[in-house]
Amino acid sequence: MSHTGPTAPPQPSTLGDPQQMRRVLFSSFLGSAVEFYDFLLYGTAAALVFGQLFFSDLSPVVATIASFGTLAVGYIVRPLGGVIFGHFGDRIGRKSMLVLTMSIMGGASFAIGLLPTYAAIGALAPILLILLRLIQGFAVGGEWGGAALMALEHSDERKRGFSASFANMGAPAGAVLSTVVLAVVTLLPGDAFLSWGWRIPFLLSAVLVGIGLYVRLKVTESPLFEQEVVTAVAGENRRLPIIDVLRNNPRSVLLGIGAGLGAFAVQALMATFALTIGVQGGLTRSTVLWLFAAGSFLQIFALPGYAALSDRIGRRPVMIAGCIAAIVAIYPILLLIASGSTLGVLLGFVIAMPLVQAAMYGPLAAFTTEIFATGNRYTGASLGYQLSSTLGGGFAPLIAATLVAGTTAGNGLLRVALFAAAAALISAVTIAIAKESSRRTLVAGG
């Protein structure tokens, strides 16, 4: 486990190279943005079109629930992807796994863009959709841990929160990109959008992955991982990373799970459920998507701001403050988004994402990775983060759609708000129990 030592470990030369550090941060941001573009694009499409195209034999309410169910499937396999890619990332290196995860994610997303609908091939269409969603989830499960670790392990000790947050910045950046592209194609006539327009954002994945791979291949391996290899900590007698994590760091895994629940629940609700209620409130799909993109864009800058603040005052106070804000504000946020007012919807997204969710999510990358040792950090951080993402985010849209089914609008929104507030409360309690991680020295093999 990571620990504080009386003296700092030897610093590899790459840690003092500003050009390489900028390249690492850009790679973590861009790679994560491409991955989350693909992953969140599915969520947006699930909220707007997949129910009609792949579950057209069901009633509208049941089709929406089924569509969000396929969204949850992608989250279920994320922990498995985290463990498997984490194992090899801890054994043979972070960089190679990041190249692989991006390639797999891009291929699956491109294939979704080519997928026939229920009207063309019947029940085989949703089956193939679920299969491709599983592949997406498996790939993104290994992406975040590697991206966060590359930034964290190249970083100056005093800026770890800021550096690691570049991986988290990829989520709203990917959301902006996917939402803008989808918003543009929703301007097509309704029949054209449903027949072929929705496919365009998925097919664009091939271009984005090509750019991301070009940048990622130019980044050097993590210096702390190289130090691990040089000192022979990763030798033949070493236990499997997952066994080491579960035997020696189960508490850290549980802390990682609990700490992210609130952030992921709010993030998932804004990216899916909120879009649905915004449209039901009377605004067009394109308008709601543009307003969501505006909130996501501001969130890109808020995340490193909160993370940098956590470098100064600690991870715990920043994240707990965000959780408390989420508990208080989530119901008013949902009411604003369901109001039918353009200004109200914009205000709802701005409060929810750059102000509230970013405070919980910005320092989370550093918090989750700092509590594990270099030799099992990829595996441990990925497992905790992805389980938290699955429980807090993967099932949130499905739970929300179920909670509002058959209820009046006000009662349904209140139920969803109580669910999100409960997730934020669990995170606040978990973070309060944990020790402050920002002052720990990350030692190879420590």
Average pLDDT over residues 414-439: 94
Q: Residue 74's beta-bridge partner residues?
A: none
DSSP-assigned letters across all residues of 177-233: HHHHHHHHHTTS-HHHIIIIITHHHHHTHHHHHHHHHHHHTTSPPPHHHHHHHHTTT
CB 32 within 8 A of CB 102: no
Predicted pLDDT at 114:
94
Q: How confident is the model at residue 334 (pLDDT cuts 50, 70, 90)?
A: very high
Partners of residue 3 on adjacent β-strands: 441
69-89 as b/e, with b when 16 or more CB fall inside 10 Å? bbbbbbbbbbbbbbbbbbbbb
Q: Is the pLDDT of residue 303 over 50?
A: yes
Q: In which band, very low, low, confident or very high, does the pLDDT at 1 lie, cut at 50, 70 and 90?
A: very low
Range ranked top by mean pLDDT from 23-37, 48-62, 167-181, 301-315: 301-315
> b/e map of 396-418 (b: 16 or more CB within 10 Å)?
bbbbbbbbbeeeeeeebbbebbe
- Tell me how long the chain is: 446
Three-class DSSP category at 3: strand
Query: What pLDDT was estimated at residue 12?
Result: 44
Q: What is the rounded average pLDDT of the residues 263-288?
A: 90
CA atoms within 13 A on the CB side of 390: 23
pLDDT surpassing 70 at residue 237: no
Is residue 232 very low, low, confident or very high in pLDDT (cuts 50, 70, 90)? very low
Asked whether residue 231 carries a pLDDT value surpassing 60, the answer given is no
Which of 141-150, 239-248, 340-349, 392-401 bottoms out in mean pLDDT, i.e. has the lowest? 239-248
- Angle 240-156-369 (CA atoms, 0-180°, nearest 5)? 35
Of residues 358 and 393, more confidently modeled: 358
Instruction: Report pLDDT digits (tens) over 31-45.
Output: 878 877 877 787 778
Mean pLDDT (whole number) for 71-93: 84
Residues 257/391, Cβ–Cβ less than 8 Å: yes
User: How far apart are alpha carbons 341 and 291 in whole angstroms?
Assistant: 11
Query: 51, 64 in Cβ contact below 8 A?
Result: yes
The pLDDT value recorded for residue 264 is: 93
Does 200 score more than 80 pLDDT?
A: yes
Q: Cα-atom radius of gyration of the chain, to the nearest Å? A: 21
- At 345, the pLDDT band (50, 70, 90 cuts) reads very high
Residue 73 scores a pLDDT above 60: yes
The confidence score (pLDDT) of residue 229 equals 60
Q: Is 157 helix (H, G, I), strand (E, B) or coil?
A: helix
| pLDDT band with cut points at 50, 70 and 90 for residue 230 | low
Torsion angle (degrees, nearest 10) of CA 62, 67, 69, 73: 160
Mean per-residue pLDDT, 153-168:
88
Per-residue pLDDT tens over the stretch 372-403:
877 788 888 888 988 998 888 878 888 888 88
Picking from 20-24, 270-274, 305-309, 441-445, which range would have the lowest pLDDT averaged per residue? 441-445
Mean pLDDT to the nearest integer, 113-123: 89
The rounded mean pLDDT for the chain is 84
Grade residue 228 by pLDDT with cuts at 50, 70 and 90.
low
Residue 11: what pLDDT?
45
pTM of the model: 0.81
Domain 14-433 has CATH 1.20.1250.20: yes
